[in-house]
Amino acid sequence: MDHLVILIAHHGYLVIFLIVLAEALDLPLPASLAMIAGGAAAASGALRAPVVYLVAITALLIGDSIVYFLGRYMGWALLGFLCKVSVNPETCILRSAELFYKRGKVTLIIAKFIPGINTMAPPLAGSMKMRFEQFLCFDFVGASLYILAYGTLGYVFHRFLAVIARALGAAGHVAGVGIVLVLAGYAAYRFWLYYKNRIYRVVPRVQISELAEKLKSEEADKILLVDVRSHGYYDAGTARMKGSIRIEPNNLNEEIKRLPKDKDIYLYCT
């Protein structure tokens, strides 16, 4: 925090702009801290408050608009990527979309304050074909509230910032330990995946050429082609193997009720 204040006092508006823009582009940078520091710098006279606001709102609106248009043109691909950390990407997307749709566009006004929703809101608005002018209006209000809330916090409490900085320093230490634990957990998870997939290697595999032969022979009606992609089935014009059916891999217990036991089931993903 101390470093951030010094950095912002020296390079001021540029640093605030870059950090806020990065957060709007869904990169993990602390825009809220940058705005607190900006507010504090304004209180101490190093920066001018209206300019801090203008710089931050410009950065947020530019970043959010970029993600909005990415969502608009990439659709499920981008949403799936943003949802990847959740257990079931498809549910993550549909649930966010439903919340957005039911609670209405007002979600955008409070979205910045809710972790998880803040990264999903602009690309979802794009994917759900919200009108851009409308998106910009709601996002403007939401972004303004966000900046004013944190900027004011820094402005009012700039005298106590040293105290807060010390507290945050301690918190930063805890965060450091947390990051190490998360990384270790991720490594263990990858190892477990590797181990599990070793087991899966005993599953029989079939080459395309072999399968194509079978499909031309009298065995053909014993064959069922099954698409198990969890993404890519959402955009119009998506292709699949001729004559295949789809099952949702994340809902297997329900889906297997539709599968015949007397056929050979050939599975494929991307």
Partner 1 sequence: MREATSARVAHMLREKGFNAFVIVGGLAAWRKAGEPVEIVPSDDLVHLPMFS
- Asked if 164 interacts with partner 1 (CB under 8 A), we say no
- Asked if 77 interacts with partner 1 (CB under 8 A), we say no
- Span 206-245, contacts to partner 1 by CB under 8 A: 206-209, 211-212, 225, 227-230, 233-243
71 neighbors 121 (Cβ within 8 angstroms): no
Question: Given candidates 114, 180, 193, 220, which one binds partner 1 under the rule CB under 8 A?
Answer: 193
Q: Which range of residues in 56-64, 124-132, 142-150, 157-165 is near partner 1 by CB under 8 A?
A: 124-132
Q: How would you label 46-66 residue by residue, b for 16+ Cβ within 10 Å and e otherwise?
A: ebeeeebbebbbebbbebbbb
5 phi/psi in degrees, rounded to 5: -65, -45
Count residues contacting partner 1 (CB under 8 A)? 62
Question: Given candidates 199, 218, 254, 258, which one binds partner 1 under the rule CB under 8 A?
Answer: 199
What CA–CA distances, in Å, run from 217 to 78, 108, 210, 211, 243? 41, 57, 11, 10, 16
What is the closest distance, in whole angstroms, from the C-beta atom of residue 247 to partner 1 in the complex?
8
Residues contacting residue 125 through CB under 8 Å, at least 6 positions apart: 68, 71, 100, 105, 108, 135, 139
Return residues touching partner 1 (CB under 8 A). Answer: 75-76, 90, 93-94, 97-98, 101, 105, 125, 127-131, 134, 193, 196-197, 199-201, 203-209, 211-212, 225, 227-230, 233-243, 246-247, 249, 252, 256, 259, 261, 263-270
